[in-house]
Chain A
């Protein structure tokens, strides 16, 4: 009898460890459309998820960056401008912790779209990057056509930027986590350090998902 109890205890403790180790998958955000097709005479229903559309920009090194440049990368996106006196410094203070956590990993990138492309030229962006203390190709600061960037913000499910009477730009401080299939997998308030730690943990979870490892 004693042996039986002992055996049960061992089995239970082993299985308890297994349950804890089970990885979780991140949700997929955005609109989804069911598509029904007929394959080999059978009807199959598939789900098409919302993805980030094509865009054309230039980064702080003057290199042309499009949506293709991010193929096979998990990335974090945000919207900012270099002369922003309100939330951007907080966002980028927090984004620096994301940068430090992943700067040596090839398939994780950060992109910050400038919403004030008229002022934020390649030169200005490079200076900002130097002062922020970022180098290499992990974190790109992007200049594009204003209308295109503003339209793009809608695909990232963030508030479309606006200009108020004082020509200041109003925008929100969200960080968006995008997977290798360009689907939105997480949204985090970039002004809150706790949420940014959550983002770092989520990137690690996402990297371990089978279709992120295969990239298909």
Chain B
């Protein structure tokens, strides 16, 4: 009887522990999956199905070092676009314009979660709160 009670409590604790942990995981999966759809609709034509870019016209999204270094600016790039700005991606210069994308902070968070965790990148979740904070500081 004692053994049964102890094992039942252990099981309950175990379930609680794993369900708590997978909450974050579930949020991440949700962001990532929706982000994939946003990517297909708004980014993929230029940046490619595998984030490979297009020659020297469109920068690839595979440069993890660039993405980490510019983490706080990525939301601004998406929301307001880029004009006459030189970026060095994968050690190559890109100076083309990027059109502004009229997306809500949550959508930007989702697409950034997708991009920064695909194509060989692994930077974890980007939250809508982070995006809102970053957008305030856009130059």
Identify the A interface with B (CB < 8 A).
83, 85-87, 89-90, 92-93, 96, 128, 130-133
B15 touches A (CB below 8 Å):
no
CA distance A131 to B97 in the complex (A): 13
- Determine whether the beta carbon of A93 is less than 8 Å from that of B48: yes
Across the interface, B97 reaches (CB within 8 A) one of A83, A92, A130, A132, namely A83
A181 to chain B, nearest CB (A): 33
A residues near B56, Cβ cutoff 8 Å: 130-133
Q: Can you list 17 A-B pairs with a CB-CB distance of less than 8 A?
A: A83-B97, A85-B46, A87-B45, A89-B54, A89-B58, A90-B45, A92-B54, A93-B48, A93-B54, A128-B57, A130-B56, A131-B56, A131-B57, A131-B96, A132-B55, A133-B55, A133-B56
- Determine whether the beta carbon of B99 is less than 8 Å from that of A132: no
- Determine whether the beta carbon of B45 is less than 8 Å from that of A86: yes
Please report whether the interface of chain A is mostly helix, strand, loop or mixed according to DSSP.
Answer: helix
Enumerate the 9 nearest inter-chain pairs by beta-carbon distance, A residue then B residue, closest first. Answer: A131-B56, A133-B55, A89-B46, A131-B57, A85-B99, A132-B55, A90-B45, A93-B54, A89-B54
CA distance A131 to B56 in the complex (A): 5
A100 to chain B, nearest CB (A): 12
A68 to chain B, nearest CB (A): 31
Tally B residues with Cβ within 8 Å of A: 11
A residues near B54, Cβ cutoff 8 Å: 89, 92-93, 132
Please report whether the interface of chain B is mostly helix, strand, loop or mixed according to DSSP.
Answer: loop
A92 to chain B, nearest CB (A): 7
Closest residue of chain A to B48 (Cβ to Cβ) is A93
CA distance A50 to B138 in the complex (A): 55
CA distance A120 to B54 in the complex (A): 19
Identify the B interface with A (CB < 8 A).
45-46, 48, 54-58, 96-97, 99
Extra A-B contacts (5), CB below 8 Å, given A83-B97, A92-B54, A132-B54 = A85-B46, A85-B99, A96-B55, A131-B96, A133-B55
A residues near B99, Cβ cutoff 8 Å: 85
Of B57, B58, B96, B97, most buried by chain A (CB within 10 Å of CB) is B57
CA distance A86 to B58 in the complex (A): 13
A173 to chain B, nearest CB (A): 10
Of A85, A86, A132, most buried by chain B (CB within 10 Å of CB) is A85
- Determine whether the beta carbon of A85 is less than 8 Å from that of B57: no
CA distance A128 to B58 in the complex (A): 11
Closest residue of chain A to B95 (Cβ to Cβ) is A131
B residues near A92, Cβ cutoff 8 Å: 54
A residues near B48, Cβ cutoff 8 Å: 93
Of B55, B56, B96, most buried by chain A (CB within 10 Å of CB) is B55
B residues near A130, Cβ cutoff 8 Å: 56
- Determine whether the beta carbon of B46 is less than 8 Å from that of A132: no
A73 to chain B, nearest CB (A): 24
CA distance A83 to B54 in the complex (A): 14
Known: A83-B97, A85-B99. A132 touches B57 (CB 8 A): yes
